[in-house]
């Protein structure tokens, strides 16, 4: 059972100009992340554009990443679909392919009750032996996983954690409070601004889109924290605020991928139609990067 902790990067999916998967650059990005000390690689999450990839593309990406990682860190795979049957099928496939952890988003588009979501996750967990991290991102799915539901689901042995991307810190606190009885149950922040505060509250880390841009800095939040070096951890946490302020210009993962490209890595644009950024947005991203890498702000 891999330990669910630290900074896990929802790695971007590099693409060519014609929107095909760039596997050579994907391998380089995996190496870049591992060299920075990242604690896990998460494929086809939100920042990996999992919402717009075909099943065959997901299989290719997972295969490439597992081979490139070669056991050095856990590989997480996002396998959540709208239906329970499809989620089970994708979860079994990812497990057989060699994923170490499954990240399963709540059902989306249609409204689901808490009872329906508990039943959904229970059936999926019963169908695989792979550890599962629940994924709550109600702004994208329309369905919020309540703390009481997470408490109930934490009783299932292979449901080992939850990622919260609601942006509501009280929700993270309630997840932690409701799962204390389950030893080693991991609550992870999906909001990069809340990673340090989640750790201080008893969480285990974060799945951090900004790690694609600042991997060493994001890792530093966790590494300083576990060494009780709070001032350094807070410096690393605070350092990403100017970049995150750029998220007001558009889709956050579009901005993250643009920033990675600006750093000189040929990861391409996000797949259409989610790739338009104004000149003002690009200028703001460029300034945030320049300020970060040419000042004392970074950890």
Q: For the chain, give the secondary structure using H, E and C.
A: CCCCCEEEEECCCCECCCCCECHHHHHHHHHHHHHCCCCEEEECCCCCCHHHCCHHHHHHHHHHHHHHHCCCCCEEEECCCCCHHHHHHHHHHHHHHCCCEEEEECCCCCCCCHHHHHHHHHHHHHHCCCCEEEEECHHHHCCCCCHHHHHHHCCCCCEEEEEECCCCHHHHHHHHHHCCCCCCCEEEECCHHHHHHHHHHCCCEEECHHHHCCHHHHHHHHHHHHCCCHHHHHHHHHCCHHHHHHHHHCCHHHHHHHHHHHCCCCCCCCCCCCCCCCHHHHHHHHHHHHHHHCCCCCC
pLDDT digits (tens, 9 = 90+) for 2-44: 889 999 999 999 999 999 999 999 999 999 999 999 999 999 9
Question: What pTM was estimated for this model as a whole?
Answer: 0.94
Catalytic-residue membership of 222 = no
Give the active site residue among 58, 151, 163, 257.
163
Catalytic-residue membership of 163 = yes
Residue 161 has pLDDT above 80, yes or no: yes
pLDDT digits (tens, 9 = 90+) for 112-151: 999 999 999 999 999 999 999 999 999 899 999 999 999 9
Give the active site residue among 5, 58, 121, 135.
135
């Amino acid at each position: 059972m891999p330990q669910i902790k630290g900074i896990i990067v929802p790695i971007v999916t590099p693409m060519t100009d014609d929107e095909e998967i760039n596997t050579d650059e994907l391998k380089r990005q995996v190496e870049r992340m591992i060299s920075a000390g990242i604690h896990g690689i998460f494929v086809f999450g939100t920042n990996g554009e999992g919402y717009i990839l075909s099943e065959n593309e997901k299989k290719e990406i997972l295969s490439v990443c597992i081979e490139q990682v070669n056991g050095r860190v856990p590989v997480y795979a996002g396998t959540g679909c709208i239906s329970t049957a499809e989620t089970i099928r994708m979860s079994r496939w990812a497990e057989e392919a060699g994923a170490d952890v499954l990240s399963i988003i709540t059902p989306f588009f249609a409204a689901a009750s808490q009872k329906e979501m508990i039943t959904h996750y229970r059936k999926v967990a019963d169908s695989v032996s792979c550890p599962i991290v629940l994924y709550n991102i109600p702004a994208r799915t329309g369905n919020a996983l309540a703390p009481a539901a997470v408490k109930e689901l934490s009783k299932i042995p292979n449901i080992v954690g939850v990622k919260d991307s609601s942006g509501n810190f009280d929700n993270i606190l309630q997840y932690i409070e409701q799962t204390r009885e389950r030893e080693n149950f991991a609550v992870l922040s999906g909001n990069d601004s809340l990673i340090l505060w989640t750790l201080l509250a008893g969480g285990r880390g974060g799945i951090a889109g900004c790690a694609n841009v600042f991997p060493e800095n994001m890792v530093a939040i966790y590494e300083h924290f576990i060494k009780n070096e709070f001032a350094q951890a807070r410096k690393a946490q605070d350092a990403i605020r100017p970049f995150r302020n750029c998220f007001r210009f558009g889709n956050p993962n579009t901005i993250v991928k643009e920033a990675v490209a600006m750093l000189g890595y040929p990861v391409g644009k996000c797949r259409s139609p989610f790739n338009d950024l104004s000149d003002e947005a690009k200028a703001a991203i460029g300034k945030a990067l320049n300020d970060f890498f040419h000042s004392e702000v970074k950890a």
